[in-house]
Each structure stands twice: as structure tokens, then as C-alpha cells.
Amino acid sequence: MAAQTGLSPALMSRSDVPVFPAVPLSAEAAPFTPLGTDGWKLGSPSDAEKQFTRCATKLRALRADSGQLREGLNLLFDQLLSENYNKTFDPSINIRPEEVCSLLKHVSCLVPLSQEHLVIKLCQVMHHLLNQLKVIMDERTLDILVKYTTNALKVCSTWTHSDILLALSTIVYGNGPQCHQHLSDLLREDGVLLLYSSPSQSNMELRRVALNCMANICLRIPGQPPLDDQYRTVSFSVFQKTLQSPKPPATDELFYCMVIQAALKGLQCCLSGGKWKFGGGEELGSVLALLKRFMFQGAPGVNVEWPAVLYPAPLPQYESLPASKPAEMPKPSEGPKDAAVSGKASGNKKRRPRGKGKKTNTEGGRGDDGEEDDREAVSALQRGGGREGGRADAEPFKSSAVSLYPSWKKNSSDSEFSDPEGSAQSKLRLYHARVRQGALHCLLAVVKSIEKRTLYGFWSSFIPDSPIGGPPPLTLLTIILKDPSPKVRACALQVLSAMLDGSRQFLAVAEDTASPRTSYTPLSFSLATAVRELHRALSLALLAETSPQTLTQVIKCLAYLVANAPYHRLRPGLLSPLWKQMRPYVRHRDANVRVSVLTLYGALVTTQAPLPEVQLLLRQPEGSSSTGLFTPQDSALSWRQRDGVSSPSRTTLSQRGSCSHSPRVPHTPGEEDSAPPWLLQLCVSLVTQPREDQSESDGAGTGGGVVLEPSPVRLEALQVMSHLVRGYYSLAQTCLFEIGQVSARCLRETDPSIQLHGAKLLEELGTGIIQQYRAENNVPESSRVPVSQVVQFWSDVLSGPLNGALQNEQHPTLQTSACETLSSILPQAFAQLPDKTQLMCITVLLGLTYSDNYLVKTAAVRALGVYILFPCLREDVMFVADTANTILAALDDRSPNVRAKAAWSLGNLTDTLIVNMESVGVDFQEELSDMLLLKMLQSATRASDDKDRVKSNAVRALGNLLHFLRQSQLTRSAFQRPLEEAVRALVKTVQSEATMKVRWNACCALGNAFRNPSLPLDSAPWSSDAFSALCHVVTSCKNFKVRIKSAAALAVPAHRCCYGDTKRFSCVWRSLATALENSEDTNDFLEYRYSASLRHTLSQALLHLLSLSQSQDMPAIGALLNGEEGIGIKGHLIKYVRAEEGSGGGGEGAQGEKDAVGDSFTPQQRIGGLQQTLIRLKGLTSEGEGQGEEEIGKEVVVNFLEDILKTCEEP
């Protein structure tokens, strides 16, 4: 065959080329099928693998006393260095790490440190093998190789140290913590690494390799412990000094860039290698100033006197371009000079191994940050700087456009450089770009390692906070808009995204709806300006960006901005241009861009929903928002529109027959002519419709079938639909059944992620309906989805694929989501579902509470806690009993999540008991088993000693149960001890150091228990402890909401005998009066919003006690009212009776008033109640020994009330 094809036998003798049998050409011959990568080698070792095995065998055979040792080592080392072991080049290479470690250990014993040429070659072999094969060394090999290279640095001449350090940096890559016994020598004051990395070191190559070695020592591999702090601190100081030191004179710019790049890499490794705390003083500001300086390294036209430190309030004169000083242009004559001296600064020419195949550089991984093959970037820079020519039209800073776009941005035909000069300039620009990229990576590490509140002080140094005017500041936006390297722009966008992420609380202050003050610029206006500048700059970047990867970062950055900015406090108009600008990108060829666009749309419909501006955008007709839009990417965007055929995004709900014309969905007035939101149509099409075309990034189709969008695009579209339903349900409800069909289709698919998002979408639909029917939301009945349609919707869902998801034990997360979907059924609709459907839901949930997966069990128990509140189920004693037994079993589960949801469900169940007791009466109480109630009481008592998230609902259940128990049950001996334990558990919780929510619920629970007239509050031994705990809390708790609840609980007993003897009654009165007097004493400003509500509740409680008081209580009350305290109490009670601050405080603080007797009374009713109290007190008669004191006290109280009435009756 060789003769037939004209190939020489020598070429055909290679072992890796298969010999094909001769096949005559004919029409009947089988079609040619190329062999895959696996089929080509057929399991045979590669040439590199054979060469390594051959050399390793010969090296192991060598002995130190061999006469031909030096020649043999030289030859074998050269052969090892000549091969390319990179798996990217040849995936079939399979050399085990153990073989490499064994070989290097053996060879290190053969090469004496006196043979310096052999030492260099051995170090090159170490670097070559470890770097290309990505070998993870065992501790023994690591120790031997580190010891060998460190000894070589001590013994060998200086000219060998560059190669030795390169090998050492490869060995210690990510192994810093394992080398701690050697680090004391390497990183001590006179250690070799500190010596060579010092700014005073004249050999730039040695300095660069030493810095790189220190960086690799600081590098932390995920899962490994961080480097010891003392070594990180020493290394950090070295890297910082390197960046602060000026470029040495007569130093080649390329070598200086490589040194700076190594220092930046080391700084990043220090910051990312574990928790890092910046020292006191100006260390953080100094680092940020350095990074900002190197962010603009080599940027054309930037000639700024950089500050040494950035302060939280930076000085603007250091941050802008000087208007009078022209930009210094690179001299053409410097190009060949730099190229000529390149490589001479170190005095040691870098050696490259001879290889059979094309070498791929991997030194950036472990050792040297060597040059990567960036010919495309260089050629792009030569052609025009890597950005579009139309870029100048979109420049925000026109005054500096010339200085920031120098002559090297011209086309190659206009360049003043010759070819060698242009190549040198391109290489220098490439190295400058790497420095800028490294600085941005470091800045990203800083942003992630410091607290957000610390970072906010430096925002103005990196994000402009003033309108356009004057010289433009140098910020991240400058890089995003003007840097010629797409990688650098992408890094700047990542930093900006990290700064914006989680900044909602900081940006919440922003506001520009009012006109700004002229005397000073408030922080709110500065932040609002910053938000507007970010919108403007990122929109320009979106128009000009050509790199799909960087374009994705631009859109993601916009999503972070939208998710955190307070648009309800800003002037409208920021979101509309962005909404319209994004629409063409949903048809971009790159799938990652499409995913990021959907992420941004998800942020738009999530932020402060519902926003009026977004609501208007969603209501706009389909074609109106894209009129007149043009972007440079139009040629790449229109993959969905070919030959005038509409894209799937435009043949959606409205063309299939708008859901507004569905016979099953009647509409509110004015909705008949409105189409579904365009965004909803787009998402439905992306999820359900096949692609018309297939982009390169989407991969190949599957077997010639219907090819849908890539999974990430479909998942993000489902997410957007969920956000849209959650935030703008009134717009999405017209397509209720269609969205339900999309969810059902997703549940029928085999991809668990698609199924999960389909179930989540169903849950959002159900939750949206429930929100409409909640009374506090005040949604008109005409705007709600009719109950009949809700019933039909859930009938379709429950007869569809949701059942399969509920029973899918292979995917517990899907089961969990399906359980949550069942819990989102509208109670009114559940009552109208067929009995078998209701029974199916209940049976499935009861069964899933016994699942082995805690997520499924948690969701099922929570769903039962929702169902127990349904009016159609709560009076069913059998269902209540079954649910109670299931919840009690879950309360003993080992998972705290399950126990927390079980406690919440038990609280709901006991709420149901109270409702049934009030609506059904004794019949329901008698039907419920006493033993079940006893078990519930005991389980809730045990749960009150659990974690806080369990305890908060356990005490709620205890209060309800103590309220629910009947006289016949309380007198039974079986209930006596559990009853006392339950009350003492509440008292303990009230007095504990638990979270305020837990103590607040415990106070509510005691007040709830006091409502049971059968409880022996006057005689029980635990009664005194309960009142004492509440009296202590009402006067001393720092949290006003807890005080409110304790005061409300003290006002609950309806009879004087419930308060016990005179001593306890006077203690309660004195505690309430003291609390009223100190109702404004707090060190926490946030508590002041509840102070009015606290005074209201305390005043009501005091008047309630006066209405129940007897003659024996008058001396104590009169003594308190007769002093100075009485004057203050009188003023508060007058305000209460007049309702001057009756509902003050609002929010959750006002919630405390709802438990107070007479809370909803008008001022006239309160005056009437006070008059009745006065009449009753005047009619009291004194008996016994203290008759005189009682009469005096009664007189004081009567006069006190008459003064209040007189004041309140005055106009």
C-alpha cells in the first residue's frame, strides 16, 4: 500500500500509524468513517510514554559508582526533556505519578551537587515532568526534592540558581503547608528567597523566579489547610514591597512586567489562601492604591501621579487625568532597543527542550508564568487594538478619547512601525495587559476577603459617584469601556460584579427623587449618581463589546446592579432603556450570552417587585420596545430569524391563540385586548419550542430528533417565569392554564433539573393565588382568579405528572418540591376538589413523612401543617388525630430541620384546636382523645428545650394546649405533673437568654394559657413563678416587643382571684407602672419605634388591673399614685384614653396591642369604661384591721381617676 500511495516505507514503519487493507474504489464500498481518538491508538502506549519508560529503566539501572554516569545522565536527561508529556497534546499518555516520584527520588541520589551542569538538567527534568504531568507527590518525595533543591541553592554557583528556583517553585506548588520544616530556611531574614526577591536584587530573572516560588508556596489548593500565618505575612510584605519599589534604571520593560506579574500572583495567593486580616493603619489603603496603579499599567494616555495610599474619602485631585499635561507616547525608537536587550538582564539564556511534537506551554500552572501562545491577541492588537472601530462613537469621555486611543490603535497600513518594531510593541502591550489582569485578580481577592462595610468606604476610588463633567476619573468603568484586551475587561467586570454583590443594604440609601441640596452633596445623592453612572457605562459597554465571553460578563454585571439598586427611590427611566437594549440579545448565537440575558431579565422582574416601571414594560405590546434599536451584534444575533421567518420567541402564546381568548379563563374588564407579557411568551418558547438553528456553542443535536434549547437556557427561562409569576402575578394569571401546561411538560421530561424547575413554577402559581385571596392584600374580587378556575387548574395538575414526581424516590429534591407544590393549594379550592383527590393528597403526604430523606420528610410535615389549617379539614377529628401522631413522631427525628418544621406544624395544629373550641365547642374537645392531648403536651414540653428554631414554635403549641385543656382533664392525676412541667418550661424560656423571638412567643404562650378559666392561677404553686417572670421581663428586657407581649399577658386574667393575694397583685401593678415610666429608656435606637405601642399596652394593662382591684389593693396602688410617679402615669393614661398614640409604633410593635383587652375601643368607649371603674371603686367597702389605710388609698385612686376623666372630657 505504501507503494500505491507513494509513501516511503520509512514513514510507514512508525508504530502509531495503522496499516489499512487495500480497498478497491466502487459505488458499493462502505463509506469512509474516520477513527476516533481512542480507535487510533487502540490502547497502545504513546511515543512519549515509551520514551519515558525506556529512559526511566535505564536511569534506575545507573549507579553512583558507574564510570559512564555523567554521560549516561546527560543523554537520558536530554531524551526526557525532548518529549512533550502534556495530555492536551496527546490524551493517550498514561504515566503514573508513582513512577515519576520513584524516578525523581532515585535520580536525585545520582546527581552530586558538585556537578552543576547535571544539577541544572535535573532541575529542568523535575520542572518538565511535574509540570506537564500534573503530578501530586507523596510526602516522602516532596521532602526529598525540597531538601535537594534547597541544598543546591546553598552549594551551587549563583548562575545555576534560576533553574533551581524554577524547579523548587514547581515542587512546592500548592504544597506550602507540607513543607513547613524547610520554610524557616527559605523565608528567614537571610534566606535565599528573601534575598533574591528583594527590590535591591539586580538580576531580574532571579527576582522573578524567587517571587514566583514564594507565590507557589502561598498557593492554597482547595481542601488543604492554609499556610502558617507567619510565612504568609512575610511573603505578603515581600510582594507589597516589590510592587511599591520603582522600576530599576536600565531594566527592560518586559522583564519588569514579568516581575510585577509574579508579585501580583503572590499577593493574590496570600489573600485567597484563607482568612486574611489587613494590619492596622493604612495597609489596606496602600494595597488598594498599588492595585489601582497597576490596573492601568501600560494603558495608553494614562499619565497620573498615583497616591501611595487610598483613603475611604479619597482626594479627587489624585484620581483624574491632568488636563494640561499631554500624554506621553511610546517612542518608536524604543521598540528595537527593547527587543535587542530582551533576555539579557538575567545573564542566563532560557533553554528550551527539543521536542518531536509541538510544545504547549504549561509553565503558568506550577512554576514560571511563561509566555502563553497569544498570537491571536497580538495580531488583533496589531490590527486595531482588539476593539471595534466603531468604538469611538460610543466613548463616554470624548475629551480623553484621543489620549486613550494612541497611534498604536491605527490599522497596520497606517502604523509608523516596521514589522520587528510592531512585533516588539505588540509583545510589550501583551505583557502590560497581563499585569493589568493580575492586578484585577488581586483586587477581586481583596473584595472577597474584607468586610463589605469596610469596602464601601473605597467605592468612590473604583466607581464614579459624580456626573459627567471635567476630566474623567480613572475607575473600573474606564477599563471596562476602554481597555483593548477582552480578558482585562472581563476581569474588571468580575471585580465590579463582586463589589455590587450583596451591596443592597449600602445602596438602599441612594435617592434622587428630590432635588439635591446646593450647599453639600448628601450620600444618598452620590450613591444615586453612582447607580446612574453604572447604568450608562455598562450600557455603552454592551453596545461595543464583541467578545462573547466579555459580553456575558457585562450582562451578569448588569444583573448584579439591578438586583441591588433601590429603583423605587430613584427617578424612573433607568430600567426601560436597559429592558429594550437587552431584547436582541435573547437571540444571540452564544448560549452563555442567552443565559446571562435571562438572568438579567430575572433580576429585572425580581427587584422590588412590583415596580411600576417594570409593570409598564411588561404591558407593552410585543414590537413596540424594539423599534429603532440597533447594536453592532445584529449580524450575530439573528440566528432565530432566517429568510424572513419569525423566530420561536415570536410564535408563542399570542400566535397559538392568546391565552386571553381561552374559553376557560374569563378576564377582568380591560384585559380582553391585552396580550400576555412578551417576556412570558419568550420564556415559554425557549422552554417548549425547538431551535430553528444550532449554534456552535450548543453542541451537536441528538439523533436527528427535535432539538430544544440547551438545558441552561431552558432552566434560566423557567427561573424567569417563576420570578415573573411571583412578582407580577396579576399579569401572568391570564395564562394560568398555559403556564400549568408548561410545568406539566417539564415534569414529564427525564432531566431532574427541568422537572424540579417545573415543580417550582407550579408552586409559585399556587402561592400567587393564595396571596390574592388573603384579606390583608385587599385584592378586589374582580381581579382574582375565580375559585372555579383554581379548582379546574389543580384538578388538571393533580391528575397529571405531579403524582410521578411525588413518588420519584430516586430524586428526593424533586419529591421535596412536589410536596411544597401540594402545600400551595388554595384552601377554598381544596374543599371543592373531588373526595378521592383530597384523599390522595393527604395519603401521599402522610406516607412521605416516613421517608428516609430528611428533605422529603421536612416538606411533607410542613405540608401537613398547612393542611391542618384548612377549614374543610380542621374539624375532621380523624384527620387531626392522624396529623398529630405524625407530627409527634417527627418531633423526635434526629434532623433539626425536620424537628423545626414539626414544631411549626404542631403550633398550627394547636391553633386549629383553639379555633375549633371557639367554633364547634365542647363536642370537638370531647371527641379528641385525652391521651393524644397528653402526648402533645409532653412532646411540646420536651421540644421547648431544643434549639431555638424548634423552641419558638414549641412554646406556641404549649400556650395553645394549656388554653385548650378542660376542667375534667386538668383535675386528672395523669395531667398534674405534665401541666406543671409545661408551665415551668414556659417560665424558663421567658427568663432565658434565648433569641428574642423565642422569648416573645413564650410571653404570648403564657398569656394564652391565662385565658383558660379552668387553670388554678390563684392556688397552683407554679402560678407565682409565671407572674414573677412576666413582671421581671416587662421592666428589664432590652427588647420592647418582648415587653409588649409580657405586658399584654399580665392583662389577660379576667378575675381578681387569678392574680393571687394582695402582695402578688401589688407586684404586678408596680412592675407595670415602672415599665410605663421607663418606656423610653433604651440604648438601642431601633427600639424607639415600638415605644408608643409599649405605652399603649402598659396603659391598657394598668386600667385593666384597676377595673379588677379590691379594697385590700388600694393602699399599695394609692401609695404609688400619690408620689411623683403618679404624675407621669397620669399623663400616659390621659394620652391612652384620648387615643393620642393608641396605635403608634406601627409595624410589628403594634402587634402587641391586639392581645390587650379593649384594644379596639374608641376614646368614648374608653372614657365609659373608666367611668364604670370609678363607680365600682367608690362602691367598695373596707373591712378588717387595715380599714383606715384602705379608705385613704381608695380616696387617692378615686381622685386620680376623676382627674383623668376631667382632663379627657375637656374639649
Give CA–CA dist 169/149, Å, rounded.
10
Give CA–CA dist 320/689, Å, rounded.
52
Give me the pLDDT at residue 701, please: 41
- 903-917 b/e with 16+ CB inside 10 Å = b? bbbbbbbbbbbbbbb
Phi, psi of 320 (to 5 degrees): -120, 165
Give me the pLDDT at residue 665, please: 42
List the helix and strand counts (H, then E) for the chain: 58, 0
Q: Pick left, alpha or beta for residue 43 (phi over 0 → left; psi -120 to 50 → alpha; otherwise beta).
A: left
> Among 126, 120, 31, 29, which Cα is nearest to 85's?
126
Helix (H, G, I), strand (E, B) or coil at 869: coil
Q: Pick left, alpha or beta for residue 466 (phi over 0 → left; psi -120 to 50 → alpha; otherwise beta).
A: beta
Q: Which cell is 228 given?
A: 502558617
Residue reference for cell 490524551: 91
Below-50 pLDDT ranges, the chain: 1-21, 23-43, 314-418, 625-652, 654-673, 696-704, 1142-1158
Helix (H, G, I), strand (E, B) or coil at 389: helix
**CB distance 470 to 312 below 8 Å:** no
Neighbouring CB atoms inside 10 A of 846's CB total 17
pTM of the model: 0.79
8-state DSSP, 895 = -
> Among 685, 623, 624, 621, which Cα is nearest to 653's?
685
Please provide the size of the chain in residues: 1211
Q: Dihedral sign for Cα 395, 400, 401, 405, please.
A: negative
Give CA–CA dist 406/415, Å, rounded.
11
Give CA–CA dist 979/985, Å, rounded.
10
Helix (H, G, I), strand (E, B) or coil at 473: strand
DSSP string covering 153-222, please?
HHHS-GGGHHHHHHHHHHHTTT-GGGGHHHHHHHSSTT-HHHHHTSTT---HHHHHHHHHHHHHHH---T
Give CA–CA dist 1001/953, Å, rounded.
8
**CB distance 507 to 562 below 8 Å:** no
The DSSP element (H or E) to which 887 belongs, if any, is: helix 877-890
N- to C-terminal Cα distance for the chain? 120
Give me the pLDDT at residue 1048, please: 94
Neighbouring CB atoms inside 10 A of 523's CB total 12
Residue type at 356 in one-letter notation: K
The DSSP element (H or E) to which 146 belongs, if any, is: helix 139-155
The alpha-helical segments, DSSP class H, found in 483-522 are 486-500, 504-507
Q: Residue 610, preceding bond cis, omega within 30 degrees?
A: yes
> Among 1141, 1117, 1122, 1125, which Cα is nearest to 1075's?
1125
Give CA–CA dist 556/351, Å, rounded.
43
- Give the chain's largest Cα–Cα span: 137
Cross-strand bridge partners of residue 320? 473
**CB distance 650 to 601 below 8 Å:** no
Degrees to nearest 5, angle at CA 1047 with 1041 and 1049:
105
